[in-house]
Chain A
Amino acid sequence: NAGVMQNPRHLVRRRGQEARLRCSPMKGHSHVYWYRQLPEEGLKFMVYLQKENIIDESGMPKERFSAEFPKEGPSILRIQQVVRGDSAAYFCASSEDRVPNSPLHFGNGTRLTVT
C-alpha cells in the first residue's frame, strides 16, 4: 500500500531555471495539498487541489508558482525562474475523499536547493 509519493527527493536548480515537483497521492485519494517548509520553520499551506481543479490557492505566491492536478497523472508544483529564496522543502499531502477531516498523509518531501 504505497503512501504519498514525491519525486525527486532532492532537486538542485540554478537561479532562473524551472523546478517541477511531482506528487502522487495515496491510492483512492483525490485531494492533494502542497506545503512549503523554509529552513527552521514550520510548514506553510500553499495550495489545495482536487482532480482538475484548484480549490484554494491562498498560500501560493502570486508570481512564478503554479500547481495542477490533472485527471491522469501526478500533481505538479511548478516554480518558474527560481530564486535562492525558493530553497525549501516542499511537502505534498493527500486525504480521503469522503472524510472531511481525516489526517493528512504526507509524502517525504522534495528538497529544493537553488544555487
Chain B
Amino acid sequence: AQKVTQAQTEISVVEKEDVTLDCVYETRDTTYYLFWYKQPPSGELVFLIRRNSFDEQNEISGRYSWNFQKSTSSFNFTITASQVVDSAVYFCALSGTNAGKSTFGDGTTLTVKP
C-alpha cells in the first residue's frame, strides 16, 4: 500500500521568508512517481512538478525548488522569498505506473502574510 505523509498541517510565514514543505512517502514499488500540486483559495488544482523514482536530481523553477531523497523517502518543496500569492494548500502525491491513481497527502496549508 502507498502512503503520503505531510506532517505540517499549517504553516504561516511573513512575505519574503523561505519556507519548506515536507513530504514523506511509503511504497513498495520500485518505479514510482511523485508530484506536488497547489490548491489556491479558488479551489482548483494546479500541477507543479513530477519526479520519477530514478531521478534524484533536485530541481529549481524560479522561486520553487524540490529536494528528492530516496534514502529518507522524502520529497520536500521549498519556496524562496515567499509571496502572498503563494498562500494555498499544497499537496504531495505518489503514484505507481499509473499516474492517474495517485495517493495524496492531506495537504499543508501555507499562509503568507504581507
A and B from one assembly?
A: yes
Number of interface residues of A (CB under 8 A): 26
> Do A42 and B47 touch (CB < 8 A)?
no
In whole angstroms, how far apart are the Cα atoms of A48 and B102 in the complex?
Answer: 11
> Do A31 and B100 touch (CB < 8 A)?
yes
> Do A102 and B101 touch (CB < 8 A)?
no
A85 at interface, CB cutoff 8 A: no
Report the minimum CB–CB distance from B66 to chain A (whole Å): 14
Q: Mark B4-37, 1 if CB is under 8 A from A, else 0.
A: 1000000000000000000000000000010101
> Do B43 and A48 touch (CB < 8 A)?
no
In whole angstroms, how far apart are the Cα atoms of A33 and B45 in the complex?
Answer: 14
How many interface contacts (CB-CB < 8 Å) are there between A and B? 63
> Do A101 and B95 touch (CB < 8 A)?
yes
Report the minimum CB–CB distance from A11 to chain B (whole Å): 14
Q: A100-B97, A101-B33, A101-B95 are in contact. Are A91 and B45 (CB under 8 A)?
A: yes
> Do B44 and A109 touch (CB < 8 A)?
yes
Instruction: Name 27 interchain pairs, CB-CB below 8 A, sorted by A.
Output: A33-B100, A35-B104, A41-B107, A42-B4, A42-B106, A42-B107, A43-B45, A43-B91, A43-B93, A43-B102, A43-B104, A45-B103, A48-B100, A48-B101, A56-B98, A93-B100, A95-B100, A100-B98, A101-B52, A101-B98, A101-B99, A102-B99, A105-B47, A106-B47, A107-B44, A109-B43, A109-B44
Please name the 9 residue pairs, one residue from A and one from B, whose CB atoms are nearest each other, closest first: A42-B104, A106-B45, A33-B100, A101-B99, A43-B104, A42-B106, A108-B44, A103-B47, A103-B50
